[in-house]
Chains A and B, each alone.
Chain A
């Protein structure tokens, strides 16, 4: 069974602080995606990374795919209360139609 481990599981910080969330596996992925889920809603895709070492930015969010395509990180600069939510990473394998999800990081940004 391929596993994705996310850390930390819970994170509560003050508005304006920076943070990093990690997603690690012993498996090599062909692609890795990050989703954000707000309470009572389904997850929404934020980004997909496919190349080892790839970095993508989405406003104050920076996503990086590890060189070996086994891990990824999400860095948020100057966090805002609107960033609060559950962040999920999900890995895809070559030729496979389904994703493997991490257990999520529940992020709370306090005003």
Chain B
């Protein structure tokens, strides 16, 4: 069974903290993505990566950074968490090379207080 695993289902962090969200996939996929999901706004792409050490900004990269040191792992970093970053964060992967079918992790619900 293909799997995308996010390190935490629920997180509560304080304003100003540096937050790390981890995602691991076991499908040898080229592409990995971080989205945030908010009611009424759908899925918004934060960053994606199409290869190790490669990254591209999505639609809402401000306040976030990413790291992909190994093919299977893609990390999202909130440099200084703010309350408006309270959201559901979803990691996904896809095979690449024209295959855009996405496999999602279970999501991390982050609350910044």
> Using a CB–CB distance below 8 Å, which chain A residues touch chain B?
9, 31, 33, 35, 40-45, 48, 88, 90, 92, 95-99, 101-104
Contact = CB atoms under 8 A, between A and B. Distances in A.
B104 A44 contact: yes
Nearest to B92: A42
B107 A40 contact: yes
Contacts of B50: 97
Given A97-B96, A103-B42, A45 B103 contact: yes
B45 A98 contact: yes
A98 B42 contact: no
23 contacts: A31-B100, A33-B102, A35-B102, A35-B104, A40-B9, A40-B106, A41-B107, A43-B43, A43-B90, A43-B104, A44-B104, A45-B103, A48-B101, A90-B102, A96-B100, A97-B30, A97-B31, A97-B100, A98-B100, A99-B100, A99-B102, A103-B40, A103-B41
A97 B45 CA distance: 12
B100 A102 contact: no
Given A97-B31, A103-B40, 10 more contacts: A41-B106, A41-B107, A42-B92, A43-B90, A43-B104, A44-B104, A90-B102, A97-B48, A97-B94, A98-B58
Contact of A88 (B43, B48, B96, B101): B43
A18 B41 CA distance: 27
Nearest to B90: A42
A6 to B, nearest CB: 8
Given A88-B42, A103-B40, A98 B48 contact: yes
A85 B40 CA distance: 15
A33 B103 contact: no
Contacts of B35: 101
A58 to B, nearest CB: 15
Contacts of A35: 102, 104
